[in-house]
Amino acid sequence: MAPWFQHIRRLIQKPSAAILILILAGVIVYVNCLPNEMFWDDDDFILKNQYIQDWKFWPHFFTDNLIAGAHLVSNYWRPLLQIIFAIEWHLWADWVPGWHAVSIFFHTLAGVMLFKAFDVLLTHRTLAFLCAMIFIIHPVQTESVVYPNSMGDALAVSCMFTSLYYYTRAKRNRQRRWWWVSLALYPLALMSKETGILLVGYLALAEFFILQAAAPFFLKAWRTLKGLWAFIGIAGSYLILRATVLNFSNSFNFYNESTSFTANTGLRLASFFQTLTTYTGLLFIPHDLRVERVIQPSANFLTPDVFFGGAVFTALVYGIIRSWTKQPLISFALLWFLISILPTSNLIVVINAILYEHFLYTALIGAWLAIFLTLKNQIPVKNKPIAASILILILVIFAGRSLWRTFDWRTAVNFYEQLLLTAPHSYRVINNLGMEYAEHAQPEKAETTYKMAIALDPSNAVAFHNLGNLYKGAGRREEGIAYFEKAIALQRNFIFSYTSLAQLYLDKNDYANARRIMEQYFDYANERDYTLNVLIEIARRQNDLAGVQHYTQALLKLRGQ
């Protein structure tokens, strides 16, 4: 064999050298994102989230939804992620390189722990290294790394792969203490992101296809259940909690209502096949990378994208069945892929998205492991240096594509302008672009963009509020009042418009309307003490002594006096 090939093999066989190479790969690919701005979900999850900015709110991490600190409601409960965010905020506030550095750290850590887990599990260091490398540098991973709020993926997966590593060590070496370490990491994964529940599936695959590979079917199944009973109990408890006390906005139906999509299983299955078509392209030719993808679900299974996705799914099932006994690692890899995309498939839990690149965050491991295993079994020894050369070229191209992708997230304005080209009917993109124009002192562009959003969805309060803010800042008082009033009329609990609207009424000495708005705001506000103080001041300006007394008594009662 070629000397260079032998040298690389010997280098990878050294765990410390392999880990160092993985770390360097993660740093080289993502260091470019350190100066990138914070935007997209970073606004609500971090920059406007008062819970992470004041430690007095830390109990809310465990009782409220992830963005309650921004006065919003979501389906997400991720207290460990919020703890990490709070620590970061108190270390460097909105200094962006710090936020990006932590995201890169956890993503790279997840890759390193994948290498360690697969090294012990597969007992094949080269396979473990290749899976970890493809995980770290693959271009679809950029969506989970380059903006700080997406760190939930890497944080949860770091816990999951570390748990898999210690579980496998406990089984291989019969050391019970590592089993307890593995078990303790499961709740941490669940408190990082909802997809942490996948750990029990990964452990089941490891037990059934690898750790118990030599046993008969029913004995393997029994031993798998026996080994995972505590993990299954934790997963079940988590699901019960998410269905009850931690059910903030319908944990199992993000639409929070019955729609043609939620009610039609066939439509959701067809949309899943559509995503498989896109996923197949992204896994092997990741050129068309973008965050917002508008997909119109089709119930026609004969349309090209649905039909091709159905064929891919059929091929996966066939491969699993065919390899079940003779090549169990292939079945392990293909089932890893399917299990990984199950939570976002809309087949079990209906979520408010059909496809995002980060849905492949762990799924790509199974797909590429199946490829590596197939190549390992099919390529003659004499041709392995050629195969290695091709693989290295692919890895370099992937790394370069990921590095180039980080530039797409450099500034918010550029990001949204580019995204608008491929998602011209996305309300979120248009409205966010308007906010960035306003932030960068481009009021004319902001006004035009907000009106585009309103025309796209006139029932949404957000753009009305933002346009009201724009007019308020420009001194166009009456126009600002009109748009704030419209936002509140559309959504009574849209708390962001109340104080701005009340201030505009106060500026024109319209105390009656200012008082009306603040009284409405009192029903929704967290700052009830502040609201009552404002009402006291308004009543005083109106010379309404009875009103002053009424609000003062309410304030004293609120304070427990």
Please list the rounded mean pLDDT of every run of 10 residues in the chain (561 residues).
Answer: 72 92 97 94 93 95 94 92 97 96 98 98 95 98 94 97 97 90 98 97 97 90 94 97 92 78 88 94 91 80 92 96 93 98 90 89 97 89 83 95 94 92 89 94 95 95 96 94 96 90 94 93 83 92 92 86 60
The Cα–Cα gap between 246 and 136 comes to 33
Q: What local confidence, expressed as pLDDT, does residue 2 receive? A: 65
Contact 84, 188 (CB under 8 A): no
Contact 34, 43 (CB under 8 A): no
171 contacts: CB under 8 Å, gap ≥ 6:
179, 207, 211, 227
The label of the residue with tokens 């499961």 reads 186
27 contacts: CB under 8 Å, gap ≥ 6:
104, 108
Range of the domain at 468: 412-558
The Cα–Cα gap between 501 and 481 comes to 6
The label of the residue with tokens 């830390």 reads 58
Amino acid, single-letter form, for residue 29: V
The Cα–Cα gap between 155 and 197 comes to 13
From its phi and psi, is residue 290 left (phi > 0), alpha (psi between -120 and 50) or beta? beta
Are 142 and 193 within one domain? Answer: yes
Are 423 and 510 within one domain? Answer: yes
- Largest distance between two CA atoms of the chain: 95
Are 190 and 279 within one domain? Answer: yes
Number of domains in the chain: 2
Are 538 and 500 within one domain? Answer: yes
Q: What local confidence, expressed as pLDDT, does residue 296 receive? A: 78
Are 136 and 268 within one domain? Answer: yes
78 falls within a domain: no
The Cα–Cα gap between 200 and 186 comes to 8
87 falls within a domain: no
Sign of CA dihedral 380, 385, 388, 393: negative
The Cα–Cα gap between 105 and 151 comes to 10
The Cα–Cα gap between 336 and 206 comes to 10
65 falls within a domain: no
Which of 409, 425, 447 is where one domain is finished? 409
Q: What local confidence, expressed as pLDDT, does residue 83 receive? A: 97
Are 462 and 375 within one domain? Answer: no
The Cα–Cα gap between 305 and 295 comes to 11
The Cα–Cα gap between 63 and 183 comes to 23
- What tokens does 507 get? 């500026």
Q: With b meaning 16 or more CB within 10 Å and e meaning fewer, what string describes 456-476? A: eeeebbbbbbbbbbbbbeeee
- What tokens does 178 get? 């590592």
pTM: 0.92
